[in-house]
Amino acid sequence: MYQLEDFNFYNKRVLVRCDFNVAIKKGKVVDDFRIVRSLATLFYLKKRGAKIVLMSHLGRPEESEPTNKKSQSKTKGLSLRPIQKKLEELLRVKVGFSAKLKGRLLEGRINRMKAGEFLLLENLRFDQGEEANSDKLAKDLARLGDIFVNEAFSVCHRQHTSVYLLPQLMPHCAGFNLVEEVEFLSKVRDNPPRPFTVIIGGAKLDSKMKVIDEFIIQADHILFGGDIADVILAVKGICLGCSWPQQDIAEKIKKIDLTSSKIHLPIDVLMSPDRSGDNYIRCGAPGTLRKEEEILDLGSETVQKFSEIIRQSASVFWSGPLGLIENEKFTQGTLGVGGALNRNKGALKVLGGGDTVPILKKHGLADGFSFISSGGGAMLAFLAKESMPGLLALGYKV
Ligand code: 3PG
């Protein structure tokens, strides 16, 4: 398996697969975390005089809202143009943009680039071949470059053209961030210092279920918050007011040994009939939830109980917020647990997914982590030991 340091990039056309799938509002990037994580590789390639061609997807065009004109509906709001602006700001150089993903004109433009210049291609998923893992698109893209660099760990769980087939057609290596992701997440997955605690919150139940199976074997403690805690409480029959999960999720939960002493569920929660919390917020045992109410955060006793477990842990992996953090009134679970992690200076601490990062940053609690993963679904797939086509294509034995 090759590293960036193994290549001479001078005047070479280098295709860099990034993950610029970031939050954009009103045409502006509002969370540049993933872009920032690719910068070390991009500066490295610039310094070594590569002609740098950047490729990424953004969103899921096939699933976007239909309008009258079909072709427009699939691309609306998903152009990488706002990313070009952000990159120029972060790289402090001009970044060219190509609306085309292939063709002779584009090839000519790339051939004429000077050493150290950047060109960003439009959203790869605007070509249906990307998600279809198309040979034809892979060959078209391969004509644009001499070397392929994958700096998109967060999409390595997808068997898509630019992630899986393209590297197989060209000399290739992993970017600095991808290497770091694999290194840190492997530590958590394969040999975590003990006691090892896993904290799981947030939504996206389907991808969370996969890791629970794995962690029930590997971890010493699993602390649950957010939607996933509610559905487990419902399946256990503790919280009759919690909404019953989809049948397939309920079936999966039933297969977990819910009596295991490793599993820790909220013992008190914040409940309210509305997400604004304007009407009233009350704290109580989850079993007291009324029909008109929703669980929106952890209660202080739960925070205390979770904090004590964290205090005694030698390694902790955390994925997903523990309450409705969009509303400041429901952040005590997430911030309480963030504080407990901050106080445990000696542990290996890995934080995953993007949602929790901004709020921890805002409250000065994001600095003490050993590693913050840029992956959401990819990180969970990696930890659950699922197949990672993007890593296999680079030569990783995972
Ligand atoms: C992510 O945001 O997790 C990655 O960019 C992958 O996106 P996807 O789930 O749409 O493939």
Q: Is residue 394 part of a domain?
A: no
The string over 203-219, giving b where at least 16 C-beta atoms fall within 10 Å of a residue's C-beta and e elsewhere, is: ebbebbbbbbebbbebb
**What local confidence, expressed as pLDDT, does residue 74 receive?**
65
Q: Is residue 90 part of a domain?
A: yes
C-alpha of 214 from chain center: 19
Tell me which residue of 313, 305, 352, 355 sits closest to 331, measured CA to CA. Answer: 355
Segment 208-222, tens digit of pLDDT: 887 888 899 999 999
**Where are the strands (E) in 343-384, listed by range?**
348-352, 371-372
Residues 204 and 233 in one domain: yes
Residue 92: both structure tokens together: 């402090």
Q: Is the CB of 160 under 6 A from ligand 1?
A: no
Q: Is residue 84 classed as helix, strand or coil in its secondary structure?
A: helix
Residues 141 and 199 in one domain: no
Cβ-based neighbours of 315, under 8 Å, separated by 6 or more = 187, 188, 192, 193, 194, 195, 196, 197, 347, 348, 349, 350
Q: Is residue 340 part of a domain?
A: yes
Residues 212 and 300 in one domain: yes
**What local confidence, expressed as pLDDT, does residue 68 receive?**
47
How far is Cα 79 from Cα 123, in angstroms, rounded to an integer?
6
Q: Is the CB of 19 under 6 A from ligand 1?
A: yes
Q: Is residue 392 part of a domain?
A: no
Determine the residue of 21, 38, 158 to mutate for testing ligand 1's pocket, defined as the one with the most ligand atoms within 8 A of the Cβ atom: 21
Domain of 10 in residue numbering reads as 4-63+76-174
- Give the chain's largest Cα–Cα span: 69
Q: Which of 144, 174, 204 is the last residue of a domain?
A: 174
Residues 340 and 232 in one domain: yes
Q: Is residue 398 part of a domain?
A: no
Residues 246 and 303 in one domain: yes
Ligand 1 centre distance from Cα of residue 282 (Å): 36
Q: Which atom of ligand 1 is nearest to the CA of 59?
A: 10
Q: Which of 124, 153, 174 is the last residue of a domain?
A: 174
Distances (CA, A) of 173 to 10, 54, 102, 255: 16, 15, 22, 40
Residues 117 and 199 in one domain: no
Q: Is the CB of 34 under 6 A from ligand 1?
A: no
Ligand 1 centre distance from Cα of residue 149 (Å): 18
Residues 231 and 212 in one domain: yes
Between CA 11 and CA 163, with CA 86 as vertex, the angle to 5 degrees is 60
Q: Is residue 52 part of a domain?
A: yes
Q: Is residue 119 part of a domain?
A: yes
Residues 160 and 264 in one domain: no
Do 179 and 37 touch, CB atoms closer than 8 A? Answer: no
Q: Is the CB of 377 under 6 A from ligand 1?
A: yes
Q: Is residue 393 part of a domain?
A: no
Segment 267-288, tens digit of pLDDT: 999 999 999 999 999 999 999 9
Residues 101 and 191 in one domain: no
Ligand 1 centre distance from Cα of residue 229 (Å): 24
Q: Which of 174, 208, 237 is the last residue of a domain?
A: 174
Ligand 1 centre distance from Cα of residue 20 (Å): 10
**What local confidence, expressed as pLDDT, does residue 154 receive?**
95
Residues 238 and 324 in one domain: yes
**What local confidence, expressed as pLDDT, does residue 246 receive?**
84
Tell me which residue of 173, 194, 193 sits closest to 184, measured CA to CA. Answer: 193
The count of domains in the chain is 2
Q: Is the CB of 333 under 6 A from ligand 1?
A: no
**What local confidence, expressed as pLDDT, does residue 211 receive?**
85
**What local confidence, expressed as pLDDT, does residue 65 receive?**
61
Ligand 1 centre distance from Cα of residue 377 (Å): 7
Domain of residue 104, CATH code? 3.40.50.1260
**What local confidence, expressed as pLDDT, does residue 376 receive?**
85
Q: Which atom of ligand 1 is nearest to the CA of 158?
A: 11
Residues 96 and 15 in one domain: yes
Q: What are the per-10-residue average pLDDT scores of the chain (398 residues)?
A: 96 98 93 95 98 97 64 77 98 98 98 98 98 98 98 97 98 98 94 96 84 90 95 91 85 90 97 97 97 96 98 96 96 98 97 84 92 91 93 94
Burial of 285 (0-12, 13-18, 19+ CB in 10 A): middle
Q: What are phi and psi of 61, to 5 degrees?
A: -50, -35
Residues 233 and 145 in one domain: no
How far is Cα 386 from Cα 200, in angstroms, rounded to an integer?
18
